[in-house]
Structure 1
Amino acid sequence: MSFSSDVKDELSRQISLGRHCQIAEIAAIISLCGKVIISIEDKYCIKVHTENVAVARKYFTLIKKTFNINTEISIRRNVYLKKTRTYSILIKGHEDSVRVLNACKLIEDGEIKENLSIVSNLVIQNSCCKRAFIRGAFLASGSISDPEKFYHLEIVCTKHDKAVQLQNIINTFELESKIVQRKKYYVVYIKEGAQIVEILNVMEAHVALMNLENVRILKEMRNSVNRQVNCETANINKTVSAAVKQIEDIKYIKARMGFEGLSEGLGDVARIRLEYPEATLKEIGELLSPPVGKSGVNHRLRKLSNLAQELREFDKEEIL
């Protein structure tokens, strides 16, 4: 199973204790993956269609527990994609359908809203109901990427109004969800790892939250180690390059004029650098008598480098 499927499976097994929260979750599921079928006699029935068995199981359980309504379930297998199954859950009775639609505020003055958006904040008035609504919306049309690869959570809406409504509900929890249009759909999404952890907490997917946090910790540790290794490698390369340049300069001075004309301090540093090419500045300083600090050694090596440069320039002028 994918990480997204694991999250939905966990959410499908969580039933809110409050009836108002159960209604909010039902409202989200019907709004995002349901439709109302109207017969010639102007009778209603509600049909929810999903490819995820966890969503079908959760919706079936909520309808039975909240309204004590028996639903009809049909399962179809795609002829071309043999492993793909679709689940349809149907509330056939007109009175039962109207009762559910009224409770979920998906009907107003006897008229069904064209896009099945909730028409009253009473359904999501409480914080717990907002959590349930987000949970239902994610179950109905949401997905989350494998955190080992990248961080991305999204919920697909068919109408812009639905997306804005869902975004506003999510953002009441101090989250920063955004909306993007993808073909004819509107996608509410979150891309930042810490924010996805928070929305999992909002939906009360605590097992998935811990799994995601473990992945984030491991990735952060790997990134931290990589940064440290890269930094140390860069420092080593820098040190080695500097040492090679220092040795080249000292050899040029030795070949050009020898060490006899150098001051005692410069001559000692030059000899030790040639003798110990892999030594650090601190180690060179400790080998001097009397010992000298890193800054003192660096200062003397800089003077030797400047002297070598002057000699090279002088030799160029002589050639010309």
Structure 2
Amino acid sequence: MSFSGDVKDELSRQISKGRHCQIAEIAAIISLCGRIQISEEERYCIKIHTENVAVARKYFTLIKKTFNINTEISIRRNAYLKKSRSYTITVRKHEDAIRILQAVKLIDENRDVGENLSLVSNMIIQNACCRRAFIRGAFLATGSISDPEKFYHFEIVCMTRAKAEQLQGIINSFQIDSKIVQRKKYFIVYIKEGAQIVEILNVMEAHISLMKLENVRILKEMRNSVNRKVNCETANINKTVSAAVKQIEDIRYIRDTIGLSGLSEGLEEIAEIRLEHPEATLKELGALLTPQVGKSGVNHRLRKLSNLADKLRDNTRRISND
């Protein structure tokens, strides 16, 4: 099962204790993946669709527990994808459908279908616990979360911008920075940052999945930290080796042109020690000198040798050109 499937499986097993929270979760489910059908005789019917068996079980249980209403479940197998199944939970009885729709505020007193999308006046989501339940229901309905081993991405798909903006407002009320993007005809409420996804899992009370994600984040951060240190050390080693190779080339050029014996005592000593110890660091070279010299002193002498070698090369080129 995917990480997204694991999260939904965990959430599908949670039933809020408060009836008001159960109603908020049902409201999100019907709003995002439900259909309200009205016959010519003005008889109402609710159908909720999902491709996740755990989620279908949650819908069935939630409606039964909250309203003591029995629903019908139908299963359809995709003819092209043999392992793919879709589940439809139907509230067929008119009186039951009306009772649910009135409770979740999806119809008004005239039985006209509509949503109160205001965060301020919508009674369904006034309490923080109900907003948590609403987000949980929305995620179960049309949400997904990527495998954190690959990248961080959390999203919930909405049919209209108004629904997306309402959901964004509910999520952001928990100090989470969700954003909206349009993808074809849908509006996606999404979160990209790993720490924010951890927080939204906490809001939805998916604590087991939260711990799994946190473990992945810790391991990834440790790997990244180690890689940064290794890369830094590798770069330093390469820099040191390149500098040593250049120093040795310069010293050999001086030796082969004017010889080392004509150099000052300090330069001759460092030149000979560098040739004898090509892999030594500046600190190690300084310790081999008599008297010992610090890194800056060694570097100063080697720089003098490099400048001398450059001058000798320039003179050689000038003479050859003449």
Structure 2 letter corresponding to 1:283: E
Quick one: distance in 2 between partners of 1:143 and 1:111?
33
Residue matched to 1:107: 107
Q: Give RMSD over aligned pairs.
A: 1.1
The alignment status of 1:207 with 2:192, answered yes or no, reads no
What SS does the corresponding residue of 1:74 show, helix, strand or coil? strand
1:214 partner letter: N
1:14-53 alignment, distance < 5 Å: 14-53=14-53
2:278 paired with 1:264: no
2:241 is aligned with 1:240: yes
Q: Which residue identity lines up with residue 21 of structure 1 in the other structure? A: C
Query: Contact 1:27/1:118 (CA < 8 Å) preserved in 2?
Result: no
- Identify unmatched segments of 5+ residues in structure 1: none
Per-residue CA deviations over 1:43-87 (Å, capped at 9, x if unaligned) read 101110111112111111111111111111111111111111111
Aligned residues: 319
Matches of 1:317 and 1:72, distance apart in 2 = 97
Q: Deviations over 1:174-219 (max 9, x none)?
A: 1111111111111111111111111000000000000011111111
- Unmatched tracts of structure 2, length 5 or more: none
Matching residue of 1:316: 317
Residues 1-320 of structure 1 correspond to what in structure 2 (within 5 A)?
A: 1-113=1-113, 120-320=121-321
Amino acid at match of 1:22: Q
1-structure distance, mates of 2:89, 2:209 = 27
Identical aligned residues as a percent = 75
| 3-state SS in 2 of match to 1:175 | coil
Residues 116 and 122 in structure 2, CA contact (< 8 A), matched pair in contact too: no
Q: Distance in 1 between matches of 2:273 and 2:60?
A: 83
Q: Matched residue of 1:149: which SS?
A: coil
1:40–1:71 Cα change, 3 Å? same
Check conservation: 2:117, 2:162, Cα contact below 8 A: no
Q: CA deviation at 1:110?
A: 2.2
- SS of match in other structure, 2:260: coil
Runs of 4+ displaced beyond 6 Å: none
Q: Is the 8 A contact 1:104 1:118 kept in 2?
A: no
